[in-house]
């Protein structure tokens, strides 16, 4: 009998994340600035913590885990691993090792299924050249899996999410729509072809981030996950004392997005996201917020690039297999952190 892991969880992937507003409330007392060697902590709302070891090298530490986003156990483990590794790449770093985080409903799902999840994660770790070196497991009501990852970066090459500059062009390395299609899957509306496309995207490792670390004209870098494009753009804009201005029609999206929007397949995380940051977004009348608030699992890198180096950037990323075009730019700070321009 085949296992359908998504039937055992109330949420899916990064759509399980707490809303930005709830997270801000929880972290309101989280002060880390007194630790001088901690270059990035809670205050920055960045992808990972960064600790400077010496003048040349810093250590990156992150953790990410969630409930099943797909039905296949091996794919679930592989996507969770790819998603967790992304936090290191989004800081411009390279992973060194990972340990697993496993919550398993042992009365509902066998240990053999959990082993498949771990094997999927181990395969991805081995592909990027690191060990899955250990972990921790508990008996839990729903299946949960992810990784804690340790990485390193040359301190001078560290990329942050709060260092964009006015005039920077905005790029996204993967299209949007993962939350829509995975919700459609849970409700029995997703096609096999759409799920295949989404699976391939979620399994594409964001190793590009490590290559971008050496490019001085890449001013800011983050990945787009559970808060949706709008949530992560707002973090970049507010941290950089700018406003992000994007063209609605140029935002990268999968071809299946209109179909699932029409069917109302937005996950609950979309609405939690929008309720948390709608006041920070200037949206043209008649525009739909559901795409920019759609939670992404193992989403793409959001990149702010000096416009004077547009050609060099697009050429270098094309060589790496990414054919990217800007969908917006950073402008002077306005009342809202994000402005969406109509067609």
Q: Which residues contact 241 (CB under 8 A, 6 or more apart)?
A: 333
Residue 83's φ and ψ, nearest 5 degrees, are: -65, -45
Active-site residue (options: 14, 16, 125, 242): 14
- 16 noted as active-site residue: no
The answer to whether the CB of 161 falls within 8 A of the CB of 79 is: no
Look-up of token digits 């920055």: 44
Both tokens of 91, joined, read 């800081």
- Which DSSP symbol is given to 37? T
Cα within 13 Å of Cα(122), Cβ side? 10
The answer to whether the CB of 296 falls within 8 A of the CB of 43 is: no
As a whole number of angstroms, the distance between CA 127 and CA 123 comes to 6
What totals of helices (H) and strands (E) does the chain contain, helices first?
A: 10, 13
Active site residues: 14
């Amino acid at each position: 009998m085949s296992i359908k892991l998504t039937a055992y969880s109330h949420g899916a992937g990064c759509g399980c994340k707490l809303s930005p507003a709830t997270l801000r409330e929880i972290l309101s007392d989280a002060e880390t600035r007194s630790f001088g060697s901690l270059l990035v902590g809670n205050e920055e709302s960045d992808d990972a913590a960064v600790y400077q070891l010496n003048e040349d090298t810093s250590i990156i530490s992150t953790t990410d885990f969630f409930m099943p986003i797909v039905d296949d156990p091996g794919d679930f483990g592989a996507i969770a691993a790819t998603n967790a590794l992304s936090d290191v790449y989004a800081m411009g770093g390279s992973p060194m090792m990972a340990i697993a985080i496993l919550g398993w409903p042992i009365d509902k799902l066998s240990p053999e299924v959990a082993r498949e999840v771990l094997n999927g994660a181990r395969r991805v770790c081995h592909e990027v050249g690191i060990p899955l070196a250990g972990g921790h497991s508990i008996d839990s009501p729903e299946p949960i899996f992810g990784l804690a990852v340790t990485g390193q970066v040359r301190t001078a090459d560290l990329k942050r999410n709060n260092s964009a500059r006015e005039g920077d062009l905005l790029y996204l390395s993967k299209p949007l729509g993962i939350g829509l299609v995975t919700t459609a899957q849970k409700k029995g509306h997703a096609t096999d072809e759409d799920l295949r496309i989404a699976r391939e995207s979620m399994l594409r490792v964001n190793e590009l981030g490590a290559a971008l670390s050496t490019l001085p004209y890449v001013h800011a870098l983050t990945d787009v996950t559970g808060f949706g494009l709008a949530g992560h753009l707002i973090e970049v804009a507010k941290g950089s004392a700018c406003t992000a201005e994007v063209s609605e029609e140029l935002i990268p999206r999968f071809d299946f997005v209109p179909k699932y929007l029409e069917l109302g397949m937005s996950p609950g995380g979309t609405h939690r996201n929008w309720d948390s940051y709608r006041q920070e977004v200037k949206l043209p009348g008649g525009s739909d917020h559901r795409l920019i608030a759609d939670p992404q699992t193992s989403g793409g890198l959001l990149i702010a690039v000096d416009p004077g180096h547009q050609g060099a950037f697009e050429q270098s990323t094309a060589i790496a297999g990414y054919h990217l075009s800007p969908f917006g730019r950073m402008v002077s700070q306005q009342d809202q952190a994000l402005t969406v321009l109509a067609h």
